[in-house]
């Protein structure tokens, strides 16, 4: 009985309740996006959330050392799917999905989590002295660089950069020396002209549209223009549930996926958008506090990586729909319609819950 009580006490209830809140916000938003119908998006969203709940439950009771030992295997599996994608992938203009029994699976999403776990394991096995040596980070950059390159050639610049950023966050949290950080920043800035030359024409067009969205409001700038109109028309308290004209009249593109935050802003106004951001803040803060409480480096680095993954999902989407970043096709986690990204986030949350329950374990307990 004491063991059960300890298990319940160690569950991160704030994180779980905030996650549940976003799921129901997403279901309500998708119900509105389909003009007051559970089909086709809202019901599927709830089904996937139920699947996500099962994943979290399974990850919760999984022995912590299993996650540690399977981390490299998970990355190997992600790489295999990314390689297979080059031959059997589907998509318009980019091969980003694999069709499996009527379900479109996007391998680049779980690859983000696989990179985080693999790097967390590798870096947690290094001594403080080894972390001061440059040669230690060559395998680490390979663990992040190979999947980054495979996602980049799909092509999917936005997702590949998010994958790389998540990996670099784990490397940074492991204690990389400042001189390496400075060198990486200088190298990155010097590489910008080369990177720009390698971009596809449509990617360059997105950047130019971001810099001057008013130049072609009926063409490349249409999405951002309609998004800003919807957000602005929502005012402080919004037009009311199911009353958003831009979304209900289908002026707002991709309202069930990339622009769901805009639709919520039109219906519930500035207050509604801020409330969502507060819930995300609660989730991220909860994860960081769990990371600080963990006694072992693998769990700590894994939690930090998961928090960055969720933050990037949220930040890129919100910045995109408000015109602060180019449109890159990033979903709003736990709210937007989309199966692979949603289940990836749930898996990450499951890993965090597992770390919370086993926060007392030390590095030796994972061997």
User: Where in 110-211 does DSSP place strands (E)?
Assistant: none
| Alpha-carbon gap, residue 293 to 154, rounded angstroms | 39
Q: What is the pLDDT confidence band of residue 192, given thresholds at 50, 70 and 90?
A: confident
| Alpha-carbon gap, residue 352 to 287, rounded angstroms | 7
Token duo for residue 275: 């409330």
Q: What is the pLDDT confidence band of residue 121, given thresholds at 50, 70 and 90?
A: very high
- SS3 category, 16: helix
Nearest-5° angle of CA 183, CA 317, CA 249? 155
What is the pTM for the complete model shown? 0.91
**Biggest alpha carbon distance in the chain?**
67
pLDDT(135) > 70: yes
Half-sphere exposure of 345 (CA within 13 A, CB side): 29
pLDDT of res. 1: 43
DSSP result, 41-81: THHHHHHHHHHHHHHHHHHHHS-HHHHHHTHHHHHHHHHHH
Kindly report the number of other CB atoms within 10 A of residue 181's CB atom: 13
Q: What is the DSSP letter of 242?
A: T
pLDDT above 90: percentage of residues in the chain: 49
Average pLDDT over residues 235-261: 81
| Alpha-carbon gap, residue 105 to 97, rounded angstroms | 5
The better pLDDT of the pair 24, 223 is held by 24
| Alpha-carbon gap, residue 335 to 30, rounded angstroms | 8
The better pLDDT of the pair 7, 209 is held by 7
User: Where in the chain does DSSP place strands (E)?
Assistant: 98-100, 103-105
Token duo for residue 243: 């009353």
Average pLDDT over residues 69-86: 92
Q: What is the pLDDT confidence band of residue 365, given thresholds at 50, 70 and 90?
A: low
Residue with tokens 């926060």: 359
pLDDT(103) > 90: no
Per residue in 272-294, pLDDT tens? Answer: 999 999 999 999 999 999 999 99
Residue with tokens 């006694």: 295
Average pLDDT over residues 153-157: 81
| Alpha-carbon gap, residue 118 to 125, rounded angstroms | 11
Q: Which residues have CB under 8 Å from 97's CB, separation 6+?
A: 85, 89, 90, 91, 104, 105, 106
Per residue in 318-354, pLDDT tens? Answer: 998 888 887 777 889 999 988 889 999 999 999 999 9
Alpha carbon separation from 355 to 7, 33, 55, 72, 248 (Å, rounded):
12, 36, 15, 18, 42
Alpha carbon separation from 261 to 73, 129, 197, 257, 265 (Å, rounded):
36, 46, 32, 9, 6
Alpha carbon separation from 70 to 114, 145, 240, 311 (Å, rounded):
10, 20, 47, 25
């Amino acid at each position: 009985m004491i063991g059960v009580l300890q298990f319940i006490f160690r569950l991160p209830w704030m994180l779980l309740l905030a996650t549940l809140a976003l799921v129901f916000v997403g279901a309500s938003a998708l119900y509105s996006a389909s003009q007051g119908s559970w089909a086709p998006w809202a019901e599927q969203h709830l089904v996937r959330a139920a699947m996500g709940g099962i994943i979290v439950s399974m990850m919760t009771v999984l022995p912590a050392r299993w996650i540690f030992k399977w981390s490299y295997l998970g990355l190997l599996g992600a790489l295999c799917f990314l390689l297979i994608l080059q031959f059997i992938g589907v998509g318009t203009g980019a091969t980003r999905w694999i069709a499996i029994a009527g379900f479109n699976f996007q391998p680049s999403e779980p690859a983000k989590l696989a990179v985080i776990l693999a790097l967390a394991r590798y870096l947690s096995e290094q001594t403080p002295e080894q972390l001061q040596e440059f040669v230690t980070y060559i395998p680490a950059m390979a663990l992040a660089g190979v999947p980054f390159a495979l996602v980049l050639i799909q092509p999917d610049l936005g997702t590949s950069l998010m994958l790389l950023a998540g990996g670099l966050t784990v490397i940074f949290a492991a204690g990389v020396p400042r001189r390496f950080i400075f060198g990486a920043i200088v190298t990155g800035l010097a590489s910008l002209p080369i990177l720009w030359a390698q971009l596809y024409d449509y990617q360059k067009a997105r950047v130019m549209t971001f810099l001057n969205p008013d130049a072609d409001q009926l063409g490349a700038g249409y999405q951002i223009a309609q998004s800003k109109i919807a957000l602005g028309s929502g005012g402080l308290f919004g037009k009311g549930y199911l009353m958003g004209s831009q979304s209900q009249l289908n002026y707002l593109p991709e309202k069930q996926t990339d622009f769901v935050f805009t639709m919520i802003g039109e219906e519930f106004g500035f207050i509604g958008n801020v409330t969502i951001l507060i819930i995300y803040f609660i989730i991220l803060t909860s994860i960081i506090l769990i990371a600080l409480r963990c006694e072992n480096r693998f769990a700590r680095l894994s939690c930090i990586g998961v928090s960055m993954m969720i933050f990037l999902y949220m930040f890129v989407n919100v910045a995109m729909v408000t015109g602060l970043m180019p449109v890159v096709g990033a979903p709003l986690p736990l709210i937007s319609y989309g199966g692979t990204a949603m289940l990836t986030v749930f898996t990450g949350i499951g890993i965090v819950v597992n770390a919370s329950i086993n926060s007392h374990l030390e590095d030796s307990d994972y061997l």
